[in-house]
Structure 1
Amino acid sequence: MNWKIRPNRPEDTIKLAEIYLSVRRQTFTWVDPGKFHREDFAAHTNGEVVSVCEAPDGRIAGFISIWAADDFIHMLYVLPEFQGKGAGAALLQSLPAWPRHTYRLKCLVNNSHAKAFYLAHGFQVTGRGASTEGDYEELSFTPAATE
């Protein structure tokens, strides 16, 4: 598929908030779904760079948000109907200087599908921790890991 990656626009906010809410509720089945709210998207992406992935028909398939100062990928969410079709890879490839730059992220241990995706794209486990949504692993992408 030919994905279009573009900067987030104000008119995307409602759709991105819906994606964030629905994918978290579907994926994080071990967390009370009542803890997730539509307003979380704006709060959780405040100060971040958000890019949108559009399908060839113009529908928004997902998004990525990064805290640029730390090269930290905070979120990468793709609607289920677009998962496994290259949308997530296109979002990663849209990152500045990808794949010649180091990036890191946190992935919940229970989210085995996401972890497999990141490992397949050259990330390696570099740390562990705990959050209110469960234990996580820190994953890092370094250019040397892809050579």
Structure 2
Amino acid sequence: MININLITPYCNEHTEALRHVFLRSRRHAFYWVNSSEFQLGDFDQSIVGENLLVAVYQSRPVGFVSWWAPGNFIHNLFVDPDFHGQGIGTALLDSCLKVIGRPARLKCLTANQSAMDFYLRKKWTVVEKGDSSEGEFLLLSAND
């Protein structure tokens, strides 16, 4: 485990680094999708209208969580693949839940087994199943 220097609200200075985190993380996590479809600008589109927290390690943004506040819906949780397994995802998720409270919900693609395992270890429960253009997903809820 590394010592995360800071979980902080997103600001414009984080944008360029988080574009790269988002791109690298999706290429790593969504191995079944043609990664040439992923672009740096996808980050900007993905966070429109959302609130964000950023994990900073040694002055470098290494992960983020974003949510849509009216629905307590967590939309994105991504950590630079070089920092996986270091507790950053947990720190971001816990920090987000402290802000938005519970119940909270999120969707996770079933093919993303490492993410599914992560949320189930964190005691998120399956509410329903669905299909998207990227494959089957589960709607998960954190209630307690």
Distance 1:75 1:122 in 2: 18
* Letter in structure 2 aligned against 1:81: D
Q: Which runs of 5+ in 2 are unaligned?
A: none
| SS at structure 1 position matched to 2:52 | strand
- Report deviation, 1:58: 2.2
Equivalent residue in structure 2 for 1:29, among 24, 28, 31? 31
Superposition CA RMSD, Å:
1.5
* Letter in structure 2 aligned against 1:28: F
Aligned residues: 142
Paired position in structure 1 for 2:112? 111
- Report deviation, 1:100: 5.5
Q: Deviations over 1:93-114 (max 9, x none)?
A: 1125369521110000100000
Structure 1 22/112 Cα, relative in aligned 2: closer, same or farther at 3 Å? Answer: same
| SS at structure 1 position matched to 2:33 | coil
Contact 2:9 2:52 in 1 (8 A): yes
Counting only pairs closer than 5 Å after superposition, residues 1-147 of structure 1 correspond to structure 2 as 1-3=2-4, 4-55=6-57, 57-97=58-98, 101-143=102-144
* Letter in structure 2 aligned against 1:52: V
Q: Deviations over 1:71-94 (max 9, x none)?
A: 000000001221111101100111
* Letter in structure 2 aligned against 1:36: F
| SS at structure 1 position matched to 2:96 | coil
Q: Deviations over 1:4-55 (max 9, x none)?
A: 1001110111111111111111211111112211111111100000110012
Q: Which runs of 5+ in 1 are unaligned?
A: none
